[in-house]
């Protein structure tokens, strides 16, 4: 060690002292085997200490290094929520609040001022209580440590049972104190589930993350391109950046805004909806808003998290409600209450030295968040009535899967009909941060929002302030003059309202040509600020789009980075600005939309998306393999870190990955479960339910099938939310109703609908699921009569429009008490006019030839569909638990049985429970 300039730093500091770091319980001996090695050139800057042996048989050893850097800035105060479990703390705070109100509350005093003052008083009391408690605990801890040290030394010299017992009791007392301290430290790190490292908790998630210290910014560029590593200068650069970003540009002319909006045909709120939004906020709404807030979230600048207000709600609610009422009446929120703390999160694959590479997250005070959440809860129920279904971002009941399904159908349609068309992906510049408030309020009036609701929004956006925190340094506050705060529950909904006039203008501009399908014209899709345009006659349409967005930008501050906006030509004859004469310069090629790589060749989607994901999964599994995680923890790891990523692709992309892909995935995960050793339990067994001897490890093939079957439920139960793609798929079904496809056999493979790759993929997944569940698809009471290839006569499917118009559409309509209806019964029941007996005979002959049992009296179960089919047909597609329900059904039909079932089969004998 001396040759390398290394020294045992503890021995260097204590050349003659004797101390120990290890105790052998077996041999009852002490030794010092744990130590720091340090370059002797900096030995003078360090101190080291051996702590008592408490938890394990090793002693903790610590080393402190005195650096020459700038002193650490003061910490921002935040409540230690573990105090909420302390009965004495609860008593002190309630008593202090009661005394505060008794001494200060009066009719003449502003409730807002009283509320802010009360928070400051309580904060001071908490700091005082925490300081007292910390000193007391430290003193107790120090005394116990000294006692342990003395007992350890005595025991090492003269061991006895009494000394050993005293030593163990002292260690137990210290362990209790340290456990409470550890709980607080873990809370600061937001590891609430640290004791459950076999479950999908935050501590397990932290073990799996790369150690990148993402929150620490080591260097940043100023506007001139000069780099700095000074923490103060870094903070100042971000302060200047966000102060500039949130400063309003030149205010647009209000007359121009009104002229733009007046030319748009936009829906209006009904008087009933307007009254709901304008009604005063109630105490119940405020409490529901608070109760809906998840635990463990970082608080705003005042340091009070949601847990504090939940715990003391009965005490705080009366004054808070008075404060809310005053804010509504005055349209003003105090600066302290309406200040946010901006924390920075580096965006994926961005240059960490550029301020623009960071996503600003606004930490808002919980009291303001309660108000915003209550307003958002009202608005989210109403906003679908005024925001077109083209927008799916943050709108209740709408999902981004509809955007991708629509896009893929339009690509397929365009290519099959060889239309000249493009898809244009727009890259918005800081869309949420550049919302012009004058334009936003004009749009609210255009939609018919009432003055009371607008007054609430105005109060929230009336001179709010923010600070920016980097590397523990918090800047001075600055005013926000535009933008919606990411972190405010109301912001996503306000942005959807703000951007809707642009979408409306695109739809109503006749010079912008969308992709046409029958009566519909598809022009635009939005997920918040992610915009796709579907354009025919692209050369002229793109020019109109640029003109329109330029106008919109001047009025709203919304802007597009045209150099990063990409054009995807859908056919070989589509206009391509990269190869054809054009005044515009756009990148062309594949686009990435909502995390999915999109090509004009749908056959490439599996390779473009699933192959990179498999590589990433294998890399992660290799990196995690040596972590000290049990088998249960490894299964939890796959469920928490791998399954969501794969499920996302399964939900977005209908096409099935190759068998080799599934095999490679299962192989990598199987090796991870067994720690790269020979597996003692097969993957198939691990995937079984716990009641069948498994551990419910994910079966990825079943998840793929379950995701595809969710689309099938949307065929059966159509809704406005997914009409945009549903009508495109119905178009390819010709006369067959798309809702009937699940009840028709695989004879559909020869129908024209199977040329649509989305329909083909969904049906193939459906038939595979039927095979797994042992559900034979044959004619049943759910079978359609008309255009059904199962009921073809000389290869010509049945169809009589008069019958269909009177409601005779499915097989159960032809039955009465399990027998085929007579001619008179059928025509009288459904009031079919102009029907003839020949049609009746043709229908009866065709169907009974396919179902011979109809010629006799049926048993009640003869034409019942399989249980699995009946269950899926009844599922509402708007149920968020459908995926887990379908997966659960597939998992219960696993082909591998319990050992006892195998034995029963081998010996042809049944065993009872006693066996």
DSSP summary character for residue 750: G
Residue-wise pLDDT tens digits, 221-264: 999 999 888 889 999 999 999 999 998 877 889 999 999 999 99
Residue-wise pLDDT tens digits, 581-635: 455 567 888 999 999 999 999 999 999 999 999 999 999 999 999 888 889 999 9
Residue 504 has pLDDT above 90, yes or no: yes
> Which distant-in-sequence residues (6+ apart) come within 8 Å of 485 by Cβ?
340, 362, 364, 464, 466, 491
Mean of per-residue pLDDT scores for the chain: 88
How would DSSP label each residue in 499-527?
HHHHHHHHHH-TTSB-EEETTEEE-EEEE
DSSP summary character for residue 481: -
Residue 192 has pLDDT above 50, yes or no: no
Residue-wise pLDDT tens digits, 773-820: 999 888 899 999 999 998 987 778 899 988 998 999 999 999 988 788
Instruction: Give strand pairing partners of 49.
Output: 62
Nearest to 810 by CA among 831, 791, 792, 827: 791
Query: Cα separation of 533 and 542, whole Å?
Result: 9
Burial of 206 (0-12, 13-18, 19+ CB in 10 A): middle
Greater confidence, 908 or 174? 174
Instruction: Give strand pairing partners of 58.
Output: 22
> What pLDDT does residue 139 have?
86
Query: Cα separation of 368 and 336, whole Å?
Result: 11
Nearest to 372 by CA among 293, 445, 270: 293
The residue whose two tokens read 């040596």 is 626
> What pLDDT does residue 196 have?
42
Greater confidence, 709 or 65? 709
> What pLDDT does residue 542 have?
93
Instruction: Give strand pairing partners of 522.
Output: 515
> What pLDDT does residue 171 have?
82
Angle, helices 700-716 vs 882-891, to 10°: value is 130
Residue-wise pLDDT tens digits, 638-675: 999 999 999 999 999 999 999 999 999 999 999 999 99
Average pLDDT value for residue range 748-759: 92
Query: Cα separation of 343 and 335, whole Å?
Result: 19
Residue-wise pLDDT tens digits, 383-399: 999 999 999 999 998 99
Greater confidence, 198 or 34? 34
Greater confidence, 142 or 577? 142
Q: What is the CA radius of gyration of the chain?
A: 34
Q: What is the largest CA-CA distance in the chain?
A: 115
> What pLDDT does residue 5 have?
63
The residue whose two tokens read 């780099």 is 227
CB count within 10 Å of CB 689 equals: 13
Residue 401 has pLDDT above 60, yes or no: yes
> What pLDDT does residue 193 have?
40
């Amino acid at each position: 060690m001396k040759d390398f300039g290394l020294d045992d730093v503890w021995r260097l500091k204590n050349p003659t002292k004797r101390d120990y770091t290890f105790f052998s319980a077996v041999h009852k001996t002490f030794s010092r085997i744990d130590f720091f090695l340090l370059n002797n050139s900096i030995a003078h800057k360090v101190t080291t200490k051996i702590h008592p042996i408490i938890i394990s048989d090793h002693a903790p050893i610590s080393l402190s290094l005195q650096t020459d850097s700038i002193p650490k800035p003061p910490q921002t105060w935040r409540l230690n929520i573990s105090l909420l479990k302390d009965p004495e703390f609860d008593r002190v705070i309630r008593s202090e609040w009661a005394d505060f109100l008794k001494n200060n509350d009066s009719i003449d005093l502003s409730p807002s001022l009283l509320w802010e003052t009360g928070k400051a008083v309580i904060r001071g009391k908490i700091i005082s209580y925490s300081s007292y408690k910390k000193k007391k605990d430290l003193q107790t801890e120090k005394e116990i440590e000294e006692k342990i040290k003395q007992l350890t030394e005595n025991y090492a010299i003269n061991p006895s049972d009494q000394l050993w017992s005293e030593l163990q009791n002292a260690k137990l007392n210290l362990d209790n104190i340290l456990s409470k301290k550890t709980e607080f430290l873990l809370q600061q790190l937001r590891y609430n589930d640290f004791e459950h490292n076999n479950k999908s908790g935050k501590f397990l998630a932290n073990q799996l993350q790369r150690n990148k210290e993402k929150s620490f910014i080591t260097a940043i560029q100023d506007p001139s391109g000069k780099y700095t590593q000074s923490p103060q200068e870094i903070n100042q650069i971000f302060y200047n950046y966000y102060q500039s970003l949130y400063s309003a540009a030149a205010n647009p002319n209000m007359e121009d805004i009104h002229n733009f909006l007046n030319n748009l045909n936009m829906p209006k709120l009904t008087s009933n909806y307007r009254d709901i939004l304008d009604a005063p906020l109630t105490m119940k709404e405020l409490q529901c808003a608070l109760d809906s807030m998840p635990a463990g979230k970082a608080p705003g600048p005042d340091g009070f998290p949601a847990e504090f207000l939940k715990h003391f709600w009965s005490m705080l609610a009366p004054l808070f409600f008075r404060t809310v009422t005053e804010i509504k009446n005055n349209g003003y929120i105090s600066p302290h209450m309406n200040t946010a703390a901006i924390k920075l999160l580096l965006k994926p694959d961005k240059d960490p030295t550029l301020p623009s590479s960071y996503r600003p997250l606004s930490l808002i005070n919980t009291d303001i968040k309660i108000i915003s959440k209550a307003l958002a809860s009202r608005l989210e129920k109403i906003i679908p009535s005024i925001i077109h279904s083209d927008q799916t971002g943050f709108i209740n009941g709408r999902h981004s899967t509809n955007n991708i399904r629509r896009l893929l159908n339009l690509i397929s349609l365009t290519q099959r009909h060889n239309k000249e068309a493009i898809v244009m992906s727009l890259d918005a510049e800081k869309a949420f941060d550049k919302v012009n408030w004058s334009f936003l309020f004009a749009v609210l009036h255009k939609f018919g929002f009432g003055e009371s609701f607008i007054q609430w929004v105005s109060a929230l956006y009336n001179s709010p302030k923010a600070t920016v925190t980097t590397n523990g340094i918090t800047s001075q506050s600055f005013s926000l003059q535009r933008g919606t705060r990411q972190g405010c529950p109301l912001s996503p909904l306000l942005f959807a309202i703000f951007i809707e006039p642009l979408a409306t203008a695109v739809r109503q501009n006749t010079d912008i040509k969308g992709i046409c399908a029958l009566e519909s014209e598809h022009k635009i899709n939005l997920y918040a600020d992610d915009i796709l345009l579907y354009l025919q006659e692209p050369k002229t349409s793109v020019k109109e789009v640029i003109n329109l967005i330029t106008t919109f930008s001047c009025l709203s501050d919304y802007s597009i980075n045209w150099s990063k906006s990409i054009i995807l030509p859908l056919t070989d004859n589509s206009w391509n600005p990269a190869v054809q004469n054009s005044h515009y310069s756009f990148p062309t090629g594949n686009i990435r939309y909502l995390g999915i790589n999109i090509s004009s060749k749908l056959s490439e989607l599996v390779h473009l998306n699933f192959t990179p994901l498999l590589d990433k999964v294998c890399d992660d599994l290799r990196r995690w393999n040596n972590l000290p995680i049990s088998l249960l923890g490894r299964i939890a790891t796959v469920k928490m870190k791998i399954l969501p990523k794969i499920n996302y692709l399964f939900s977005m992309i209908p096409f099935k990955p190759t068998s080799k892909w599934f095999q490679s995935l299962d192989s990598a995960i199987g090796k991870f479960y067994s720690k790269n050793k020979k597996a003692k339990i097969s993957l198939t067994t691990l995937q079984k339910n716990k009641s069948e001897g498994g551990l419910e490890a994910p079966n990825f093939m079943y998840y793929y099938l379950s995701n595809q079957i969710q689309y099938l439920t949307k065929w059966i139960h159509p809704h406005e939310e997914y009409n945009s793609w549903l009508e495109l798929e119905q178009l390819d079904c010709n006369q067959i109703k798309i809702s009937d496809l699940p009840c028709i056999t695989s004879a559909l493979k020869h129908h024209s609908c199977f040329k649509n790759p989305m329909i083909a993929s969904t049906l193939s997944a459906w038939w595979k699921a039927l095979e797994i569940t042992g559900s034979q698809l044959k004619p049943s009471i759910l079978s359609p009569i008309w255009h059904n290839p199962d009921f073809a006569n000389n290869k010509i499917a049945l169809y009589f429009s008069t019958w269909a118009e009177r409601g005779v559409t499915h097989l159960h309509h032809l039955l009465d008490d399990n027998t085929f209806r007579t001619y008179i019964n059928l025509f009288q029941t459904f009031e079919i006019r102009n029907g003839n007996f020949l049609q009746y005979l043709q229908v009866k002959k065709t169907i009974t030839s396919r179902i011979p049992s109809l010629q006799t009296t049926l048993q009640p179960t003869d034409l019942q569909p399989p249980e699995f089919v009946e269950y899926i047909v009844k599922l509402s597609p708007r149920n968020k638990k459908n995926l887990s329900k379908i997966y659960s059904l597939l998992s219960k039909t696993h082909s591998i049985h319990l050992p006892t079932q195998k034995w029963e089969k081998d010996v042809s004998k049944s065993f009872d429970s006693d066996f």
